[in-house]
């Protein structure tokens, strides 16, 4: 089964990949306007996909959705009401992001029977809890690393916009170092607190800044860049 997986986030770019049901191949990041060309490339010349499975947290694009529907035999737009082998315990399921759902499904598929703690280091830092019995227990959202740096700069009169650096000491010795330490160490302390409060959980890092923080923590961590795609692939299989 030729399945095209699409992950549309908050930026002008998105990611697309191809799955044969067992593995994920040809993962590419493309400008959202170039997504149709990428789907055609993944499906193959002159053919359409068996399934297109989409996770999107962007404003709905009805023209793009119509095009995708016309280029597959089965179209799946993931939301909290999509059938899947994961039970969602969330008070407002209609507000739950498809990326968080897919990541939770991916964690459950990779580590069945184990409690999982998922950290997604993207535009926002999301922390989600998945029970070993296949239950999404909810999670939390805070600003991601880039958002924190931008907020410090944009919401003050004189503090500069700085780039993240490895903390050399706990107390910064200049303003740039103080800001970098404040953001990077703040996220590290936040993450470590969650891990310490959930002993025995399998810890999974995903997202663009995952490796940056994984290198700084001593806790055993699984870095899974294609966690959302893994979940989308399992959801597609379940529905087909």
So which residues are the catalytic ones?
Answer: 99
Q: How far apart are CA 80 and CA 83, in angstroms?
A: 8
Q: Are 27 and 15 in contact (CB under 8 A)?
A: yes
Q: Which residues pair with 178 in a beta bridge?
A: none
The vertex-141 CA angle with 140 and 145, nearest 5°, equals 135
Q: How far apart are CA 47 and CA 28, in angstroms?
A: 19
Identify which of 25, 84, 94 has the alpha carbon closest to the alpha carbon of residue 76.
84
Scanning the structure block, which residue is given the tokens 């999974």? 204
Q: How far apart are CA 53 and CA 68, in angstroms?
A: 10
Identify which of 83, 80, 120 has the alpha carbon closest to the alpha carbon of residue 101.
80
How many whole angstroms from its chain centre is CA 129? 14
Q: Using only C-alpha atoms, what is the Rg of the chain?
A: 19
């Amino acid at each position: 089964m030729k399945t095209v997986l699409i992950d549309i986030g908050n930026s002008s770019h998105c990611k697309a990949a191809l799955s044969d049901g067992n593995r994920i191949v040809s993962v590419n990041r493309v400008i959202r306007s170039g997504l149709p060309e990428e789907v055609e490339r993944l499906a193959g010349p002159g053919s359409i996909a068996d399934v297109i499975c989409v996770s999107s947290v962007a404003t709905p694009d009805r023209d793009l959705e119509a095009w995708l529907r016309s280029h597959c035999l089965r179209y799946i737009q993931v939301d909290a009401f999509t059938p899947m082998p994961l039970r969602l315990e969330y008070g407002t399921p209609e507000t739950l992001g498809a990326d968080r759902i897919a990541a939770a499904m991916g964690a459950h598929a990779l580590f069945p029977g184990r409690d999982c703690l998922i950290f997604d280091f993207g535009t926002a830092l999301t922390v989600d809890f998945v029970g070993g019995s296949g239950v999404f227990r909810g999670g939390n959202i805070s600003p991601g690393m880039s958002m924190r740096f931008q907020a410090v700069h944009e919401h003050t009169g004189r503090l500069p916009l700085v780039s993240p650096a490895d903390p050399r000491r706990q107390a910064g010795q200049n303003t740039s170092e103080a800001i970098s330490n404040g953001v990077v160490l703040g996220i590290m302390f936040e993450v470590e607190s969650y891990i310490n409060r959930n002993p025995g959980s399998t810890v999974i890092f995903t997202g663009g800044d995952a490796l940056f923080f994984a290198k700084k923590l001593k806790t055993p961590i699984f870095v899974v860049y294609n966690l959302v795609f893994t979940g989308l692939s399992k959801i597609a299989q379940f529905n087909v």
